[in-house]
Chains A and B, each alone.
Chain A
């Protein structure tokens, strides 16, 4: 298989690489860049654990190829905290006990970040709808919903 050259910006760093055409974006991030915060829970696009931000939108990195990401700007969970300070959504997840085993957490947090960027004041129903593409087996979701509400309040208070 002929390898494909790509240039992609990941967490603010511009990266040029040559990838196998069939390599998924998730595997590229995890195996080639060592960004293992992106999790693989099903590899068929249902669980949402592999969610990353692609030009700001939540995308399942197990369903897209690294080659397709040429020119894209990607944010993974590792790119969210700045200078050791947690992002307000991360802070709210901590505060609200919105994680237990932590495996779905990166995808949940990034999905919430994308939601709040688009809708800074979501209703509970809108939050549940936005999170419904991300599976969590530990928390029963209630504290995740509370965390997103908390983050929304904090972000509004800050602006």
Chain B
């Protein structure tokens, strides 16, 4: 197999406008909530108002008596459904199974206790309020370190501890590194718990046909085939009788990877009630009960020479996993992923990490763009800034002295990641040049004289992408996977591409069509990409972890290449020349050097399907191929530099601009790459400055609306300057690397770094994100407003 299979020409690499856009622009696109199936009834969940409580009794009689109510189910009524539990075989991770409706105890605000089904949503919500649950409140624990104490309230009593995982790993000569160091530095950071908050909340619709035993399940999910597999196992419906359709999905960012208890409940209700059952969560439910992310307590220690060379690192990473570590080993994903990436782009030869996962009375943690890596990057980059300053070095110079250089590729990190290629130092230098770094430093000094606080933050990053079997293993998650594409040319010569990766904003209908069009020599207008329906797309994992460009692009390239060969074989018989002498361009197959000897794809395809004479013995008539791809590990990289000014009076941060230089190898469509980068940067701004899920000590959630949980708006996001470097991967098809997560991986470190830089040395006092005006002002020692 040639890795150069992906040519770059008319389509690959072009700024093609998205073919999917018109239906979104006109309101024709149908999301889950927009689907209407006759006879549908509506579900509303009764959720815990307590962070930790025993359920004494549930009285559903008043709810059942309300006209229009069909059913009220509690844990007893769904007792045949198995609990959700982690499926990853990770040694030492204690199981914390979660029943799909809370049984005996609730462990976080928002946990589903009962479900009401009624003729419409208004009645369902009325009835949910009539369900009387008698709770006995229990002491709650909402801080991961407090939860580790021997006398802490226990979430899962049978475990005897809230610590579900704890392991120390030593790599290289850590003692030696610390013994040789001129200086030892230490720092603690508590990164904030923030959430994906896709604009479309979760939702699902269960349609069960009793006569055939066939379940059609619509869900706002990123992983239709995985959901089908799990629903089959949970409900005991054979998999071939389950169809999952993920319609338009209004953003996921990882939150819609998880198989949720609500999905299992709604699927089951559809089966037992014999009516289509629909559930669309409201925003409060989404903020309280959909997975949270990114909260860790990270303590770092560095052994450093006076010239700035880092000899060794130690990290203690405590993941605040929330109430349950369910189906994606969720309490562990943050600290384990973080541990692997702490060395980052730097040449670190000795490293010890302790990974701890803890349960607390907060919502369970799940994936959110750059899982674990955001917290790790933030802690390490802020720490390195401080070390640089303590040593009297410029933070950029400190990075130069430690960064992995291009002559070191392929580079195997101390944690076992194999960086295939990249432009680490180059992206740093280019970003500094674009932002006008030297001049800014001069300006900063001038403004300081005037009592103004200008800051510059540098975040230099590497992003693991192409999430297949190899990179999952390198990142610490033994999770083999692959994805599949079927490329078909129909008898009229039009191209159908069906893929297992799912698009919920990424634009696959355009980018993957670009790949097929390039290889098959047709216009993108003659290609359609199908995804999101398990009956129409081949099996595969779905979309997460910056994998779809690499894996999707690769598998479509392989399948299209095979179909191209079939086309050329048929055409060679029709034109009586060797296949090697044929070309396909603009939908026509022609003899190289003799363009007048040509056939349209229509003619070739029509003959392939309907004229047996063009087939050799044993050849298939269909111009179709299904190919899988499970790529080698590949790593993107980049550098994000933020310039900000802090108002010393109010503690507010004004962002002047953000420069991002990124390198994702071969770009399928630079316009879409830029969109991914800009969107992820905005989320990173939110994470650095505004967004935090806040619980009080009783486990009460204080941030359950978009008023109290503030997302960045158009007025908070500054000018974003994006520039591309292009270092194709030597190990993936076409040299593609992923790009989905780098912006959120690196921006919080860049923005927070700029703020701390602006107010240094006062920034030393800041340990916790986000950098709210209150935290900034406290660090500056200023007065808090009355």
**Minimum CB–CB distance for B241 against chain A, Å:** 29
Interface residues on B, range: 35 or more
A38 to B681, CA, bound (A): 27
- Chain A residues with Cβ under 8 A from B576's Cβ? none
State whether B679 touches A139 (Cβ < 8 A): yes
The docked-state distance in angstroms from the alpha carbon of A94 to that of B122 is: 36
Q: Which residues in B have their C-beta under 8 angstroms from that of A95?
A: 17
Chain A interface size band reads: 35 or more
- Which residues in B have their C-beta under 8 angstroms from that of A44? 283, 705-707
Among A23, A129, A135, the one with the most B-chain Cβ atoms within 10 Å of its Cβ is: A135
Indicate if the CB atoms of A144 and B714 lie closer than 8 Å.
yes
What does DSSP make chain A's interface, helix, strand, loop or mixed? loop
Contacts of B199 in A (CB 8 A): 39, 41, 47, 49, 101, 103-104, 135-138
B36 touches A101 (CB 8 A): no
In the docked arrangement, what's the CA distance between A25 and B6, Å? Answer: 50
CB–CB B713/A132 < 8 A:
yes
Measured in the bound complex, the distance between the Cα atoms of B197 and A46 in whole Å is: 13
- Across the two chains, which residue of chain B brings its CB closest to A144? B714
Interface of B is mostly: loop
B616 within 8 A of A: no
B679–A99 touching, CB < 8 Å:
no
Stretch at the interface among A2-10, A53-61, A72-80: A72-80
Contact of A13 with B by CB under 8 A: no
Q: Write out, one digit per residue, whether chain A residues 84-118 have a CB within 8 A of any chain B CB (1) or not (0).
A: 00100010011101011111111001000000000
CB distance from A104 to the nearest CB of B (A): 5
Contacts A42-B706, A43-B282, A132-B713 hold; do A102 and B24 have CB atoms under 8 A apart? yes
- Asked whether A67 is an interface residue with its Cβ less than 8 Å from the other chain, the reply is no
Near A by CB (< 8 A), chain B positions 530-582 give: none
| Residues of chain B within 8 A of A133, CB atoms compared | 713
* Contact indicator B675/A100 (Cβ below 8 Å): yes
User: Which residue of A35, A95, A103 has the most chain B CB atoms within 10 A of its CB atom?
Assistant: A103
Residues of B within 8 A of A (CB): 17-18, 21-31, 33-34, 36, 122, 196-201, 248-251, 253, 282-283, 504-507, 671-672, 674-675, 678-683, 705-707, 711, 713-715, 717, 719-720
21 A-B interface contacts by CB (under 8 A): A36-B30, A39-B33, A39-B250, A43-B282, A44-B705, A81-B25, A86-B26, A90-B25, A94-B17, A99-B21, A99-B25, A100-B506, A101-B199, A101-B250, A102-B21, A102-B248, A135-B713, A137-B711, A139-B675, A139-B679, A140-B720
A residues with CB within 8 A of B: 20, 22-23, 30, 34-44, 46-47, 49, 76-78, 80-81, 86, 90, 93-95, 97, 99-106, 109, 127-129, 131-145
With A49-B199, A105-B25, A141-B714 already in contact, 10 other A-B pairs whose C-beta atoms are closer than 8 Å: A94-B18, A97-B674, A102-B25, A132-B715, A133-B713, A135-B199, A137-B679, A140-B681, A141-B717, A144-B714
Q: Which 4 interchain pairs have the tightest Cβ spacing?
A: A37-B27, A102-B24, A103-B250, A101-B505
